[in-house]
Structure 1
């Protein structure tokens, strides 16, 4: 695997660290790639905890295989290759990382291992940031999980990272023809999974919340704080896609059905009627952090995180998470 052009200062210094066995210098040069590698692993695995583990595994493998780095490829390319194969090895071993058919009347599958990704851990490199939103949004992450692992790796390497077919083939020990075929099949699946989304992930995309998005998430929080069922219903598109993980997978439903389901589950009844909320972002998406105060409690405690996809001023997708078990998001426990 080769990258065009002479070695830059990083590769030259790294090569010297490899040859001398300088572990501290080796760690310093690889550590600067941690955030982007962790996002790469998250795209492969849809789980923050697993992404952390596989990033650490990448650094361990890199140290153990340091003699294989000859400077023919960029350090970043070499690390991505190791990270991709670490994720593939995990997926080969773990059948709980394959979407399972939902018993609900919906063609989607359950992703009970899906976890939100904190924006503060996204890469600071502006070249990564311009594509980060549409390739870190939950809809993309969920859709990618429906690809077989090696198709998933090909799609991410080729269409997200922009690698040429020859480099992706070398990284995955495949032929260029196999990579081209896998990419074609993966793109077909992604068009089926994301029929209404822009699929040109290599062109610039925004990563800041629009005024429209901020207004909708604020209205969503306000509706909870006022116990306003009509207001909540009016925010939802009629073809809402909803999931509350880890209980069930994504399902399509009408806005009225969604609200009826929430009410039957206790929403706005005594004990579930004293809400407060704040606006945040995860996966470059607008999100409402909801805090609930029960009758015998003097404070509002962290309860749920609702991640919203807003289209034309209404909520098209809502994925809820139990926020009490997401320490990596660093949300205040009380409000």
Structure 2
């Protein structure tokens, strides 16, 4: 007697699209998150999931069942992401032109293609336990510092680290997924770990306020009040001495309270002509605010805060106004 799963697979192989959707739909959300980690862009990740499912549908007859269907889909998705990066290089969004003259940035940073990952989408990912060799939790592996670190290493290193240290696939299985040897995977993984830890070396996770905790709520409330009031000193008083301000897809990055204050004075001086609103939400498991300007309100991107123990380590303002479509419906109606 064939199992229900095998029967569905047989129907899908025979051309039953509904059976194929029943088989693959449970993995759509986690595949999107996987592609996002490698690509750093939610828009690109959504496109890549569609390509993955199309490729899986067309190649279903070649699925031999030696690995699980989930692993097979991850193999396709990973290689689709890597092929896309090799074929066209990093697709850089056009640099926005600010409506005011910003001060000279501390540096012009990467990656400008980075987008946030709203927690409303993250909550849809099945809370399955990763493989026994995983080193990072779901929460850690979607934080902005982690995703940014992945973008700054060669794509195959990033893919190897995600497959091994986030998803916990064994080295032998990752070697099959990436078409290489287990020895090569071990070497690539070691280099990726060193690069990522160097990027995250200043993060003291034990001192970060837990999500939804009173310290987190108090710090984000004070930030929102100062930001809405255009109170530069109030915002700066909440920053660590080593804080950064970034604004993807603009490459401008400002380091330290003095540089950030100079930028905020220019920005608040321009936006002060219209009322600003911040609606609380979450992205990349971090506290965030949807930004709206003027009357009637116009979407103005998303602010994501990276917190330390009692101060803000980084402010990332994503300027893409289309991000509002991923906000909770309740926030959109306010």
Name the TM-score class by shorter chain.
Answer: 0.7 to 0.9
Structure 2 residue matching 1:277: 3-state secondary structure: strand
For 2:71, the equivalent position in structure 1 comes to 77
Structure 2 residue matching 1:238: 3-state secondary structure: strand
Structure 1 residue matching 2:37: 3-state secondary structure: helix
1:316 to 287, 298, 313: 313
Residues 161 and 237 of structure 1: is their aligned pair in 2 closer, same or farther, counting only changes over 3 Å?
A: same
1:66 to 33, 37, 60: 60
For 1:261, the equivalent position in structure 2 comes to 263
Residues 105 and 323 of structure 1: is their aligned pair in 2 closer, same or farther, counting only changes over 3 Å?
A: closer
Contact 1:243 1:318 (8 Å CA) reproduced: yes
Return 5+ residue gaps in structure 1 as ranges: 1-6, 200-204
Contact 1:133 1:285 (8 Å CA) reproduced: no
For 2:86, the equivalent position in structure 1 comes to 92
C-alpha displacement at 1:323, in angstroms?
4.7
Aligned length: 313
Q: Structure 2: how far apart are the matches of 1:8 and 1:138?
A: 42
1:172 to 159, 174, 178: 178
For 1:202, the equivalent position in structure 2 comes to none
Contact 2:248 2:319 (8 Å CA) reproduced: yes
Residues 256 and 88 of structure 1: is their aligned pair in 2 closer, same or farther, counting only changes over 3 Å?
A: same
Residues 230 and 207 of structure 1: is their aligned pair in 2 closer, same or farther, counting only changes over 3 Å?
A: closer
Report the TM-score, using the length of structure 2 for normalisation: 0.85
Q: Structure 2: how far apart are the matches of 1:62 and 1:307?
A: 35
For 2:100, the equivalent position in structure 1 comes to none
Mapping of residues 1-335 of structure 1, within 5 Å? 10=5, 12-97=6-91, 105-106=106-107, 109-122=109-122, 123-127=124-128, 131-197=137-203, 208-251=211-254, 253-267=255-269, 270-271=272-273, 274-293=275-294, 297=295, 299-330=296-327
Residues 321 and 65 of structure 1: is their aligned pair in 2 closer, same or farther, counting only changes over 3 Å?
A: same
- The more displaced of 42-51 and 213-222 is 213-222
Residues 23 and 244 of structure 1: is their aligned pair in 2 closer, same or farther, counting only changes over 3 Å?
A: same
RMSD: 2.8
Q: Structure 1: how far apart are the matches of 2:182 and 2:40?
A: 27
Q: Structure 2: how far apart are the matches of 1:52 and 1:31?
A: 14
For 2:98, the equivalent position in structure 1 comes to none
C-alpha displacement at 1:121, in angstroms?
1.5
For 2:133, the equivalent position in structure 1 comes to none
Deviation digits for residues 103-147 of structure 1 (CA, Å, limit 9, x no counterpart): 9655x8421211111212223422369932211111111110111
Q: Structure 1: how far apart are the matches of 2:47 and 2:300?
A: 26
Report the TM-score, using the length of structure 1 for normalisation: 0.84
Residues 97 and 184 of structure 1: is their aligned pair in 2 closer, same or farther, counting only changes over 3 Å?
A: farther
Structure 2 residue matching 1:96: 3-state secondary structure: coil
C-alpha displacement at 1:46, in angstroms?
0.5
Contact 1:116 1:283 (8 Å CA) reproduced: yes
Residues 155 and 113 of structure 1: is their aligned pair in 2 closer, same or farther, counting only changes over 3 Å?
A: same
Deviation digits for residues 236-271 of structure 1 (CA, Å, limit 9, x no counterpart): 1111121012222544x1213201211023447741
Using CA pairs under 8 Å that are at least 6 residues apart, name the structure with larger relative contact order, 1 or 2: 2
